[in-house]
Amino acid sequence: MSIARRFTRQTASYWRQFRTVAANEYRTIFGDAGVLLILVFALVIYSTLYSLAYGPQVLRNVPIGVVDECRTPTSRELIRTFDAGPNTYVAYEPTGMAEAEELFFGRKIYGVVYIPSDYEKRLLGGEQANVAIYVDASYFLMYRQVFQELVATIGQTGAMVEFQRLVAKGAQIPQAMATTQPVIYQSHNLFNPYLGYGTFAMPAIIMVIIQQTMLIGIGMIGGTWREFGLYGKLCPADRSRMSTLPIVAGKTLVYASIYAVTTFYILGLHYRLFHYPTNGSSLTIAAFMVPYLLACITFGIAVSTLFRYRENSLLLLLWTSIPMLMLSGISFPREAIPDWLYAFGQIFPSSHGVNAFIRIRSMGASFEEVLPEIRALWMLVFVYGGLACIGIHRVLRKAGCGKE
């Protein structure tokens, strides 16, 4: 048999096997409600639920309590300033610290301000007045909002008192203003102008959701195929062996086609519905998403060959979502992660995907600026693609349908 004829026959065989695998994969996905929920709808559902939860973006109107032992016009004016800002409001004015403590541990307030009885006396006498602040640090978002609002308010009150003292002593208004506020700054919050938590967290969460839903869904199908012996049924009727490459390619095409649709919705319409930043060019997003999706898919296929039953995927992969998010360096600072642990995290597509996607979508990075992450993702595609072929070969041998 000539080389050309053998090549043509082999190509035709691969094409038949490829179509068989793709058709069977589509049939398995859309005929299995659990897999359909994970692979098709989970990304949309989770992204929508998280976006709705983070919809307010910024925590506002946190209730606090003020214990006013001074009970003077000066202390009352200070209390009114706590209500003036958008982040806090005075929900209770306990008569003492014991009552304030009861409200605090009852989760009715998340901060307490204690104004001592000598507050006005010391303030008007030119001495330093002390105000105590107690803030709930068990919830960092709550702590940040309350602490920053109270400190800023007290600082402004102190500056105003000092300004009035200087004017009373005969200082000119410009001189008094320069003394009480020697430096004027302008704050510009880059890439996240409203300091919204949703704008900060959602890009990373979406990338992790893409990876995790793929791992779980592909793992469920892999376990189903082994549990019910579907690998053996893929062998052509006139042959006793089957190649691994058509299986990996067929599966990859199916998952890529499904996630191309869902990610197009998420990165297009969903992002605009919830007003997330849409910086970066569409071509750069496409150049990044292609290797990211392929890396997640080949990773999922490689892992799926380890499961004997469909339930194994849920039991072993569901709990990995939070560690994957932390290893990406978004929920915990990269500098605070041990080097060996950060290096370990680089074997997962999400670690590169989260970093690149945030830089493109939130910061407007160009293709050249995220090229290291894109290269790393292509390397993972080939590594996990090879491991997927090895895993499929091993499964086929056990199913009595060995590699050609």
Residue spans of the domains in the chain: they are 9-55+196-398, 62-180
Neighbours of 98 (CB within 10 A): 9
Residue range 331-352: mean pLDDT, rounded: 85
pLDDT for residue 213 is more than 60:
yes
Of 112, 1, 121, the closest CA to residue 67 belongs to 112
What is the per-residue pLDDT for 287? 94
pLDDT for residue 187 is more than 80:
no
Identify the weakest region by mean pLDDT among 53-67, 257-271, 297-311, 322-336.
322-336
Is residue 68 helix, strand or coil?
Answer: strand
Element of type H or E holding 253: helix 244-265
What is the per-residue pLDDT for 375? 95
Identify the weakest region by mean pLDDT among 20-24, 46-50, 121-125, 341-345.
121-125
Residue range 60-80: mean pLDDT, rounded: 85
Using CA atoms, how far residue 96 sits from 83, 93, 331, in Å, is 20, 9, 39
Q: Which amino acid is at 150?
A: L
Q: Is 8 exposed, middle or buried (0-12, 13-18, 19+ CB in 10 A)?
A: exposed
Neighbours of 166 (CB within 10 A): 18
What is the per-residue pLDDT for 317? 77
Strand partners for 182: none
What CATH number was assigned to the domain covering residues 62-180? 3.40.1710.10
Cβ-contact 72, 119 below 8 angstroms = yes
Is residue 237 helix, strand or coil?
Answer: coil
pLDDT for residue 285 is more than 50:
yes
Average pLDDT score over the chain: 82
Q: Within the chain, what is the greatest distance between any pair of CA atoms?
A: 109
pLDDT for residue 336 is more than 90:
no
Residue range 187-195: mean pLDDT, rounded: 75
Element of type H or E holding 294: helix 282-304
